[in-house]
Amino acid sequence: MSKMLSLIKPNPKDFVVSCDLKLANILCGLQFHSSSHPCTWSFDAAGRDIKKAKEFGKVVHPPLLALDDEQLVLDLIPAMELHLLLGVVNHLFKILKSMWPHAEKWLDALHIKQQPFHGGQFAGNDCHKLLKNLDLLQNLAEKMSSIYICPIVNTFRKFEAVIPVLSAFFEIRGPEPSKINLTPTLKSKTMAKDKEILKPVKFSVYLPDIICGMKELDKSLFNIKINVPAIKCNEKSCGKFQKTFKNVLLNRPHFRSIIPSNLLNSNERFILLNPEVNNFELLNDDQQKVFINENGEFCQHELLLEYKDFSAEEIFSKIFSNFDIENVSSFETVGHIAHLNLREKLLDYKKVIGQVILDKNPNIETVVNKVDSIEETFRYFQMELLAGLDKMNTTVIEHGCTFQFDYSKVYWNSRLQTEHKRLVDQVKEGDIVFDVFAGVGPFSIPIAKKKCFVYCNDLNKNSYLALKHNITLNKLNSSLIKAYNMDGRDFLRDVVIKEILKSSCHLPKMFSIHIIMNLPAIAPQFLDVFKENNFTNEMLPESINNIFVHCYLFSKSETPENEAKQLVSEAVGYDISPKAKVRVVRRVAPNKVMLCVTFDLKWFHLQSVKPSTKRLNEGESLDDHEAKIMKID
C-alpha cells in the first residue's frame, strides 16, 4: 500500500481511502481465499497446482509488498493488475455512489452494469471503460452542479495514471519510483474518427440460416426484424446530431438515419447509428459533448427488413455462405442483358442467381448464362435464359458510338471497351485501317469517325449485317468505311494486300496502315498469308512503311509475352523483336491471359512476285489521299 501511495503522491484533501480486509490483501499482493488455495485467476494460471501456486510470483508478478512470514494464514501470491483494477475502481465507485445519487447515469451512458457473478462488482473491461470516460463523469457533475464530487473524479484520474505504471513496475521487478514515468499514456479508442465515414452496414449477418443453399427464391424468408443502436433525442437537437454524427450514422441505401417516434404528438427522434458504434465510448470528443449537452440517450431501435432492403451481394453471401465462392453477383452487361458464365458447381442455383440479379439491377431485363465455349468460326455461343424477357436484340453505346445487334447470334464483349478505346486512340486521322475480324464494329466504327479509311470484315453473316446497320446508324460517310463478308484469309489476300500495294506509292509518310486481327483463339494462324508470293522485287522496301499489325492471342505460358512474340515471329517468318510491343489485355482465366502484339510488318523480308500493274485508280494522283481527307466533312 505504501509503495502505491508513493507513486500516486496524493493530496490529503482529495484522496479518500476506504478498504476492507480483501482490498488490503489485493493491494499487498495477497488474495484471501484459504491457506492452501490462491485466487481463481492466479490458481488457474498456475495450472491449478498448489505447489506451483506458492511460487507463482517467480513466473508472473511479484507482490507489491512481500511478506515472508510463513506463519501467515494467507497465501503469498502475486497481485496482478486485474486485482488492483477491480479493487480500487469498485471501491471508489461505492464512495461516489454514497456521495452522489446520480452516479448510475454515468453507468447508463456507457451501458455498464455491476455483474452478479463478480460479487456485484464491475468486470475488468468495465473498470477500464470507466477510467477512460472520466471526462463524461466530469461533464455530468458540472451539468448537475455537483462540483463536490470532483475530489473523487480526481482520485479516479490519479489511479488511471497508475495502472500503466504498475504494469511496467511488475514487468521489470520493481524500479525506483523516481525512474517511473507517471505521464498518462492512455489513448482514445474511438472508432468514429472525425472524418472517417464507416462503411455501409452489411445486413447479410442478420439473415436466417434457412436461406443458406436456397435454390428457389422465397422472398418471404427475408422479412426479419433487427435492432440497431440509436440515440433518442429531442426534435430540436436533430440538426446538431446529424451534423456531428455524420460519419457514424446508419449508412444504407433507401434508409433514413433520423426517424420520428411512433408515439402520437411526440417530439422525440431516433438517430440510427452504425451497428459498430453501440456505446458512448466509441464516439469522438465532439460527439460526446453533443450527446451530453443535448441530453442524448442510447437505446436500441427495431427495424423491419424485407427482400427489397438487401443487395444482391448480401443475398448471395448468405445463400453461398458454405461455399468457397467469390463474385457470384458479377456479370457482363450488354445493353439490357446480363450475361453470366456460371461455374459447374453453381448450375443447380442458376435460377435463384438469375432472379436476384434481375430484381436488384433496374436496367437489366434479361439474364442469360453461357452453356458452351465460344464457336471459333462465327464467335458466338449458345446461351440459356435464366430470368426476365427472352429479348436478345439489344443496343449498346460505347465511346460515343451506338451498336445494335442480336446478342444470341454475334460476338460482343463489354469487358473489352477499354481495349477498343486504347487502339482507336493510336490511330490518326487519315490512316488506313483493315479490321480483319470486325464483328459488329467496336473498332471500325469509332475509327471511321476519326476520318480514317476503314476496310472491315466478318465471316459471320449476322455480324456483317449488324456491322452495315451500325455504319448507317452512326451516320458514317460511305467513302470512309466499307464492309465485307469474307473468310479472314481471303480478306487478307484479296483486300488487305491489294489495297496496301495500291496505296503504297502515294501514301504520304505521315500516315500509317493498321491491320487489326482480333480473333485471339486463332488469329496468329492467319499471319502466314504475308509470306505468300504476292510482292515484287521491283518494289523498294522504303516505298511501303508504317504498316502496323495488331494481333490478339491467348497464352497459358508462365512467360506469356515471350510466347506471344515467338508465335507471331514463327507465323510471319522473321523475328519481330525487339521493336514489337506486347501487352496483356486482360486475364480470362487463372492461368490464361489475352495479349495484343503490335509489330511493324517488314515487307522486304517476304518473298516476292510481280503484283498487279495497276497501282492507282484511274485519274488518281499522288496527292489524292490527302485531298480525300480534306473533302470529308
| Binding site residue list for S-adenosyl-L-methionine | 420, 458-459, 487-488, 518
Amino acid, res. 184: P
What separation in angstroms does the CA of 295 have from each of 101, 148, 230, 239, 266? 18, 22, 13, 14, 16
Asked, as a colleague might, if the bond just before 442 is cis with ω within 30 of 0, I would say no
d(CA 316, CA 207): 11
Please say whether the dihedral angle defined by the alpha carbons of residues 145, 149, 154 and 159, taken in this order, is positive or negative.
negative
Does residue 434 contact residue 501 with C-beta atoms inside 8 Å?
no
Please enumerate, by residue number, every residue annotated as part of a binding site: 420, 458-459, 487-488, 518
Task: Assign 3-class secondary structure to 39-92.
Answer: CHHHHHHCCCCHHHHHCHHHHCCCCCCCCCCCCCCCCCCCCCHHHHHHHHHHHH
**Calpha distance 338→324 (Å, rounded):** 23
**Given the C-alpha cell 485501317, which residue does it identify?**
433
The answer to whether 549 touches 601, Cβ cutoff 8 Å, is: yes
Taking the C-alpha atoms of residue 94 and residue 115, their distance in angstroms, rounded to an integer, is 14
Q: Which residues contact 177 (CB under 8 A, 6 or more apart)?
A: 3, 6, 7
Largest Cα separation within the chain, whole Å, is 126
The SS3 call for residue 260 is strand
Q: Say if CB 485 and CB 457 are below 8 A apart.
A: yes
Residue 532 CA to chain centroid, in angstroms? 52
- Give the strand order in the sheet containing 592-600: 481-484, 453-457, 432-435, 513-517, 547-555, 592-600, 581-589
Strand partners, 517: 551
DSSP 115: B
